[in-house]
Structure 1
Amino acid sequence: MSMGMSARLKAEAERFSFYYGDFRALKDVNLPVHEHCITALIGPSGCGKSTLLRSFNRMHDLYPGNRYEGVIRLYPDRVNILDARVDPIAVRMRIGMVFQKPNPFPKSIYENVAYGLRVRGEKQQNVLDERVEEALHEAALWYEVKDKLQSPGTELSGGQQQRLCIARCLASKPELLLFDEPTSALDPIATASIEDLIQKLRAKVTILIVTHNMQQAARVSDYTAYMYIGEVIEVGPTTKIFTRPANKHTEDYITGRFG
């Protein structure tokens, strides 16, 4: 876990609150996201983990009545991605998202990966070919699909589909990758391969992951934030959170004496 434990921040939420209509789902959240590290969000169901994660790429803009307060800053340029003048599409170019259930588009494997590049207006075939191959390599999928790039992405197994979705994100060279319980729909073998991949990816990209599985957080992350009812109760290096949490509430959750 010593790798890349720099104090350099890639992003951070400061006094961040989120409202669904009048309901305040997140309350004054402070969360540092360290560069080239994996930060896990853990906590009981409905505590706001996914809501917080989705705020990092302005996913909530898609629904009326949602609003943000406070700041989510992206480094090195210190842009507040919640600023109304910031285009959410531009934010999503820099911050990719992988969902709970694999969601490949009903297109070929190749077109799934090339999608983000085409949206950006990339037309050069050699550039597309190169990035598609590179992203599939980075997602540890190239050797399994290189001979069937024109087959539908939906024909792949669940674990392969999830890696295809990861490749689709990586093709646009994001700076931050958000994972929303990326293995909850997968079997143990596919789960292990995705965890392994996530750990390798932190050399290239900063990762924020929501998981309901504490063992997974302990296995893959460098930092862990424990959330409860819309608040970040405690955040710190994963080893410390799991062995010497400062907060009694965190300790009760981690040891299973909770609720």
Structure 2
Amino acid sequence: MVETTSLTLERPIKAAVNYLNFYYGGKVHALKDINMPVGDKQVTALIGPSGCGKTTLLRCFNRMHDLYSGNRYRGEISLEPDGINLLSNKVDPIEVRMRISMVFQRPNPFPKSIYENVAYGLRVRGESRRAVLDEKIEKALRGAALWDEVKDRLQDLAFNLSGGQQQRLCIARALATEPEIVLFDEPTSALDPIATSSIEELIAQLKETVTILIVTHSMQQAARVSDYTAFMYLGELIEFDKTETIFSNPSHQKTADYVNGRFG
């Protein structure tokens, strides 16, 4: 385990992971005393070999693990500036997921129209006013750089979009509830290079308004899109620093071995 809270970020802290442990089924100790700050309106990348815990950590932020019985958290994730522990039993996981949205590895549009895909979270929140929905849906689609491509076909099925468009639609759906943090779980792994480049450019734009955490197997992608990088191994956070430092002058030999392709 590496202490990281002494690192001074360039921006205020949006979330702080404090001595976080996570257990699958109450038995498998998947995360071990994770400490990590997340800078406001910055991109933080989680890297490491398969099975190291990066997706497990990502899914703690929006309580996805609550969907399966027997999973258990210990420690906290504090959402700032409110100081709310996202893992507290007193905090509603549904509300957490409105404030912290997630974009998954493969595009997963609902079997609905483009319009209703983006409207989904707003309707869950009880919004039914057409004018408000229209405004927020357009804003979200513009935020996902998709509005100009779909504005004349909002009632078409989302499945009629290309793979890259579907992923941007999922990003628009994530943005519609105006979240404070957006989680990306390998968002380009199922996309071609052109669509991948489009999503990476979008991430660079989105960080002007929202905080981003991204899990990626591509070290090149982490280097391109992130401000800070966390290297994880066997459930532990080995090193957390500015991305340029992680890739050019890491403090730990295991980090150096991983980023130089000696294992993984």
TM-score range, shorter chain: over 0.9
Q: 2: distance between equivalents of 1:19 and 1:98?
A: 23
Question: Which string of whole-angstrom CA distances, capped at 9 and with x for unpartnered residues, describes residues 80-125 of structure 1?
Answer: 0111111001111100000000000000000000111111111111
Q: TM-score scaled by structure 2? A: 0.95
AA aligned to 2:14 is K
Question: Which of 63, 66, 72 matches 2:71?
Answer: 66
SS at structure 1 position matched to 2:16 = strand
Q: Give the letter for the 1:16 counterpart.
A: L
**Corresponding residue of 1:15:** 19
Q: Which runs of 5+ in 1 are unaligned?
A: none
Pair 1:171-2:161 in alignment: no
Amino acid at match of 2:76: V
Quote the offset at 1:178 in angstroms: 0.2
Counterpart CA distance in 2 for 1:167 and 1:31 is 28
Amino acid at match of 1:31: M
- Whether 1:44 aligns to 2:35 is no
Cα distance in 2 between the residues matched to 1:122 and 1:23 = 40
Q: Which residue does the alignment assign to 1:111? A: 116
Matched, 1:254 2:259: yes
1:225 aligns with 2:227: no
Aligned mates of 2:218, 2:50 — CA distance in 1: 11
Structure 2, unaligned runs of 5 or more = 1-8
Is it true that 1:77 corresponds to 2:66 in the alignment? no
Aligned partners of 1:182, 1:38: CA distance in 2, in Å? 14
- Number of residue pairs matched? 255
Q: In structure 2, what is the equivalent of residue 135 of structure 1? A: 140
- For the pair 1:30 / 2:48, whether they are aligned, the reply is no
Contact 1:6/1:35 (<8 A) preserved: no
Q: Which amino acid aligns with 1:13?
A: V
**d(CA) in 1 for partners of 2:195, 2:230:** 25
SS of the residue aligned with 2:184? strand
SS in 2 for 1:86: coil
User: 1:94 aligned to 78, 99, 103, which one?
Assistant: 99
Alignment partner of 1:46: what SS?
A: coil
Runs of 4+ in 1 over 3 A off after TM superposition: none
Q: Secondary structure of the equivalent of 2:50?
A: coil
Structure 1 match to 2:190? 185
* Alpha-carbon distance in structure 2 between the residues aligned to 1:177 and 1:138: 13
What amino acid maps onto 1:93 in structure 2?
A: M
Letter in 1 for 2:210: V
Q: Compute the displacement of 1:258 (Å).
A: 2.4
Q: Secondary structure at the match of 1:33?
A: strand
Per the normalisation by structure 1, the TM-score is 0.97
Are residue 206 (structure 1) and residue 211 (structure 2) matched?
yes
Q: What value does the CA root-mean-square deviation take over the aligned residues?
A: 0.8
What is the aligned-residue identity percentage?
A: 67
Tell me, in whole angstroms, the C-alpha distance in 2 between the residues paired with 1:208 and 1:256.
Answer: 23
- 1:6 corresponds to which of 10, 16, 23: 10
